[in-house]
């Protein structure tokens, strides 16, 4: 089943970069920007993460939290955060369960090869836990500013 705007966001609990468990319900009353990305410290993922970093204060001013999700382990997330001074949580979805629940795990193509992996999708979840906006297969450089602009309009 494909998720749509207005659907309840699938609940989850995942470890963050420090191994602490983080649940979607922890953020009720706030807008959640849940962004899925393929891999820590790769060019596109770094561009996207740094874009969210650079706009972090503006997201916070809109009562929004940013949560990045990839299949990387907590230790990899720690290095990524330290290297690029990322001020938000990165969650370790090592078994792809949450990416699957959010239609963000599937067949990808790179340099002529097909493989399974996390797709670059973002979900904006409203303060009541419903999906407010879905972005699929985003462009890393422009995406964070677009999400912020859309949140500011609501």
Whole-angstrom Cα distance, residue 37 to residue 43?
A: 11
Tell me the three state secondary structure of residue 64: strand
131-135/122-125 β-pairing: antiparallel
- Per the annotation, the verdict on 45 as an active-site residue is yes
CA 126 to chain centroid, in Å, comes to 14
Q: Catalytic residue, from 34, 45, 81, 92: name it.
A: 45
- Total residue length of the chain: 154
Indicate which residues carry an active-site annotation.
Answer: 45
């Amino acid at each position: 089943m494909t998720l749509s705007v207005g659907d309840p966001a699938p609940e989850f609990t995942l470890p963050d970069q420090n191994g602490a468990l983080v649940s979607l319900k922890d953020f009720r009353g706030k807008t959640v920007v849940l962004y899925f990305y393929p891999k820590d410290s790769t060019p596109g993922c770094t561009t996207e993460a740094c874009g969210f970093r650079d706009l972090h204060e503006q997201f916070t001013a809109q009562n929004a939290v940013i949560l990045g999700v990839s299949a990387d382990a907590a230790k990899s997330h720690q290095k990524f955060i330290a290297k690029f001074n990322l001020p938000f949580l990165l969650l370790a979805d090592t078994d792809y369960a949450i990416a699957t629940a959010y239609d963000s795990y599937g067949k990808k193509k790179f340099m002529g090869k097909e493989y399974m992996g996390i797709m670059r999708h973002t979900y904006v979840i409203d303060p009541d836990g419903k999906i407010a906006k879905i972005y699929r297969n985003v462009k890393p450089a422009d995406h964070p500013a677009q999400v912020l602009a859309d949140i500011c309009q609501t």
